[in-house]
């Protein structure tokens, strides 16, 4: 068959080198030769199958003993998994910004320092706010006295209602202004909204702080999320609560078995994926945000599978095959057996058909075996 193919290639080269004058005729000749090759291959296949059946019927052996290792087939649980790339993300993370304008007066922490929720991180200059508060408090004392007097007179039906209402309104207005100034003063003290580490400080003492500008980055390293984008094809077989395995390339010794914490509710239009999220504990703080991870997810299981080592399965023109041990005339003989295979995982392959429970397969020495080899089975 290889000679026929070589002949066709040579013929095609010669015809092409002669020019393009007879191109349609040449193309038709090539098609005719291809049809002949296909017909010849089919005849070879039929003859090979006939020869194999004849040899099995006559129990033909090579007469040459080959030492092999064997294994008896027993049904067992076969699981198939696939791996998905993932990244680590903080559950609690905060970019802290000033809530009011002001010059930075003091910074109380350093990068890498652990802080508690509510701990003071920095202070803005608040001299103007404090001056306004003192001035407003003085005005409020007078307004309070005036309001109490007008209220007392009004209760005795002395004076006008208008004077009473003006005094009340002025007093309440100054109270609201004082409350606003006190809130602004409190906001000049920048505090941590979460427990965590100060990972970055983006400003320095003396600079002007502006609301919305990132000042501190605080991260909490325990617990963490592990997020992966999974193809929508797996949506029917993955559910919240399913057990998965997560590994980290930077820490090969860390293998965590976790349950799916959350599955995204939306399919990404561009990538046709959905979000799968795990929640993991990180007590030693070894794992960091954005660390790469691999999530291993089970997508198939067969509780009574016939599985064989993947390396013993070979392939020829008729399909996949391996060698089984047959007892013939008191001898152990190798017989070629064609099989239909399923999924493969970790050097094991599920055999869907072609093998039965209790049969014996050759696991080592199969490279030296041919159909009909007499076997010397190593104990």
Question: What are the helix (H) ranges across the chain?
Answer: 2-17, 23-58, 127-155, 161-187
Query: Which range is least confidently modeled, 85-94, 167-176, 340-349?
Result: 167-176
Nearest to 256 by CA among 223, 291, 296, 290: 296
pLDDT above 60 (res 231): yes
Dist. CA 177–CA 367, nearest whole Å: 92
Beta-carbon count within 10 A of 338 CB? 14
pLDDT given at position 71: 94
Structure pTM? 0.69
DSSP string spanning 206-255?
A: TSEE-TTS--EEEEEEEEEEEEEEEEGGGGGG--TT-EEEEEETTEEEEE
Is 133 a residue whose pLDDT tops 80? yes
Residue whose structure tokens are 């998994």: 81
CA–CA gap between residue 244 and residue 230 (Å, rounded): 13
Question: Residue 248: is its pLDDT beyond 80?
Answer: yes
Give the whole-angstrom CA distance, residue 57 versus residue 234.
47
What rounded mean pLDDT belongs to the chain? 87
Is residue 104 within 8 A of residue 216, CB to CB? The reply is: no
The Cα diameter of the chain in Å comes to 133
Which residues lie below 8 Å from residue 174, measured CB to CB, with a gap of 6+?
A: 136, 139, 140, 143
pLDDT, one tens digit per residue, over 273-317 is: 999 999 999 999 999 999 999 999 999 999 999 999 999 999 999
**DSSP single-letter state for residue 202:** -
């Amino acid at each position: 068959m290889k000679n026929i193919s070589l002949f066709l290639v040579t013929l095609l080269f010669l015809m092409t080198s002669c020019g393009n004058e007879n191109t349609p005729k040449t193309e038709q000749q090539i098609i005719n030769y291809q049809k002949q090759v296909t017909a010849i291959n089919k005849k070879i296949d039929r003859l090979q199958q006939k020869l194999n059946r004849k040899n099995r019927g006559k129990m033909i052996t090579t007469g040459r003993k080959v030492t092999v290792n064997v294994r008896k087939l027993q049904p067992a649980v076969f699981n198939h998994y696939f791996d998905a790339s993932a990244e680590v993300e903080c559950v609690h993370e905060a970019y802290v910004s000033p809530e009011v304008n002001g010059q930075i007066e003091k910074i109380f922490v350093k990068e890498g320092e652990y802080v508690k929720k509510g701990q003071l991180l920095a202070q803005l200059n608040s001299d103007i706010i404090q001056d306004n508060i003192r001035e407003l408090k003085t005005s409020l004392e007078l307004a309070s006295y005036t309001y109490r007097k007008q209220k007392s007179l009004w209760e005795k039906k002395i004076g006008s209602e208008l004077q009473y209402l003006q005094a009340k309104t002025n007093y309440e207005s100054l109270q609201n202004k004082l409350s606003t100034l006190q809130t602004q003063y409190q906001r000049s003290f920048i505090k941590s909204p979460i427990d965590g580490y100060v990972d970055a400080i983006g400003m320095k003492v003396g600079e002007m702080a502006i609301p919305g500008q990132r000042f501190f980055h605080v991260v909490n390293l325990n617990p963490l999320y592990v997020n992966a984008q999974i193809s929508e094809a797996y949506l029917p077989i993955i559910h919240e609560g399913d057990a998965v395995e997560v590994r980290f390339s930077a820490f090969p010794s860390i293998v965590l078995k976790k349950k799916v914490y959350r599955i995204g509710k939306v399919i990404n239009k561009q990538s046709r994926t959905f979000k799968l999220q795990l929640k993991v504990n990180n007590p030693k703080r070894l794992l960091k945000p954005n660390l790469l991870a691999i999530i291993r997810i089970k997508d198939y299981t067969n509780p009574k599978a016939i599985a064989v080592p993947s390396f013993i399965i070979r392939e020829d023109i008729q399909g996949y095959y391996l060698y089984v041990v047959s007892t013939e005339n008191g001898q152990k003989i190798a017989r070629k057996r064609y099989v239909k295979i399923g999924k493969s995982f970790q050097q094991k392959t599920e055999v869907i058909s072609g093998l039965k429970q209790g049969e014996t397969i050759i696991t080592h020495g199969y490279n030296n075996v041919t159909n009909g080899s007499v076997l010397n089975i190593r104990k």
